[in-house]
Structure 1
Amino acid sequence: MAQNPRSCGHSGRNLYCQQELTALSNYNKQTPPTIKKLLLFPFNGNAREAASVVEAINRQQETWQLLGFIDDDPKKQGLRFGDYSVLGGREHLERDKDTFVLAVPGRPETFRQRQALIASLNMAPERFVSIIHPTASIGIDCTVGGNTLLMANVVLTANVSVGQSVVILPNTVIAHDSTLGDYCLVGASVSVSGGVTVGKNCYLGSGARIIQEASIGERSLIGLGAVVINNVAAGSVMAGNPARIIRESR
């Protein structure tokens, strides 16, 4: 049976596709889903937004039992967001081995460390899940990797490939035949034109615009509102309209 990215977990290299979404959507009209337990890591803005996405999913069909957040910072443990609290550190991953996890660390200052931080959780790949807002649009021949968060009104138009451990904020559009590498962070209202390749571990700031068929090298940061009209070398920090390199990333 095909699986629905809005309600199911996949391992790191397995993919969700639009055809699977349609198949299980029809199936779920007759068969109630199994409620799955979920933890969010860490207690940051991405994870709090993910909690809102989980609630939006559950309003349509009860799918997830969100247990709360985990975070390595003792100062955050015990804090609350809505009905959910920070339960403790990563020891909960060992204690609750039947629980799925969405790991969404990363800020503009730390996005290059995302891969290492997620790997340090030492979790079996099949425990990572992707969470996709019900209003996201996933077109024909699009794929989404595991441990990925797509927020409200994200659009993948056609034949778009989104890697694993990616976060895409609301109202972003990624056009046909584009590829977004693993561990990328994409801000709100970003526009990626057709045929664009974004290397792994990049940060695309909110409001950025990428011209068709451009290539963004891995570990690059595209600043807020930047308009990219040329290829970007790996490790670049870009800003402005048109975007210009302002420094190489550390």
Structure 2
Amino acid sequence: MPQQLIIFPFGGNGREALVSAIEANKISHQWDILGFVDDNQDTWGKDMAGYKVLGDRSVLEKYPEAKVLAVPGNAQTYLKRQSIIEGLNLKKERFATIISPNAVVSPDAVIGCNTFVMPYVFVACGVSLGNHCIILSHTVIHHDSVVDDYNCIGSSVTISGDVKVEKNCYIGSGTNIKEKIIVGERSLLGLGSNVVSNITPQVTVVGNPARVLKS
């Protein structure tokens, strides 16, 4: 039986999640998509493909059986993602996980709740993706790597084997991370960075090889 689904918020990540949910339904009817919620009143009543913004987060109380995919955040706001998601006050079992039917995920990979894996992502054997993560299109995560909670991984990122990305990081599109690297929590890796040594927590790095821009 299809599961009701609400997506939060009505931003780029949320609208891309809708596309993946629609595509998944073409294979098997997994989701009864109710629409979006967004705290920005300017979005109320807007729609994508006929799915409307129903109102602010209080709408979630009207649909207690609905699963919620909460995918806020970008390079400017990634450090607020945890507090925004926790602010929804939802139990873990209320969250959805959406994996695009065009992604390739190893059968032994572990993917947490409220994680969205976009099209053409490859998740290899032994990989662990935490809760509340977003993995953008065409990213490759190689064997035995660990991506902790609340991480945003941009598009066309290559994470080599045995890498650990600690929580609350943002990895910019086109970044390459060498094998066995540790990326410290709350760090930002700028677009196209080539990471060949461990990254300390709470820094911004850019370049080839990646260097600390600010801490």
TM-score (norm 1): 0.85
Question: What CA distance in whole angstroms lies between the structure 1 residues aligned with 2:194 and 2:113?
Answer: 29
Partner-residue secondary structure (3-state), 1:115: helix
Greater RCO structure (CA 8 Å; 6+ sep)? 1
**Corresponding residue SS for 2:42:** coil
- The residue number in structure 2 matching 1:163 is 130
Match of 1:187 among 154, 162, 180: 154
Alpha-carbon shift at residue 78 of structure 1 (Å): 1.2
Deviations 1:206-233 (A, max 9, x none): 1100001011000000011110011000
Q: Post-superposition shift, 1:73?
A: 0.8
Residue of structure 2 in register with 1:231 after alignment: 198
For structure 1, which segment, 76-85 or 92-101, has the greater mean C-alpha deviation from structure 2 after superposition?
A: 76-85
Q: 2:93 aligns with which of 105, 111, 126?
A: 126
SS state at 1:38 partner: strand
How many Å separate the matches in 2 of 1:92 and 1:38?
Answer: 12
1:140, distance to aligned residue in structure 2 (A): 4.2
1:78 corresponds in structure 2 to 45
Q: Distance in 1 between matches of 2:107 and 2:41?
A: 44
Letter in 1 for 2:210: A
Render the CA deviation track for 1:133-165: whole Å, top value 9, x for unaligned.
Answer: 112111142100000000111111110010000
Tell me what 2:5 maps to. 38
Q: After the TM superposition, list the runs of 4 or more consecutive aligned residues in structure 1 that deviate by more than 3 angstroms.
A: none
SS in 1 for 2:180: coil
Identity of aligned residues (%): 43
| Corresponding residue for residue 163 of structure 2 | 196
**Correspondent of 1:95 among 54, 57, 62:** 62
Provide the secondary structure at the position in 2 that maps to 1:238.
strand
1:92, 1:155 → 2: CA distance? 35
3-state SS of 1:87 partner: coil
CA separation in 2, counterparts of 1:40 and 1:106? Answer: 14
Q: Is 1:110 paired with 2:77?
A: yes
Paired with 1:243 and 1:150, the residues of 2 have a C-alpha distance of: 26
Letter in 2 for 1:123: L
Question: Where do 5+ consecutive residues of structure 2 fail to align?
Answer: none
Give 1:229's aligned amino acid. Answer: V
SS at match of 1:106: coil
> Structure 2 counterpart of 1:40, which letter?
I
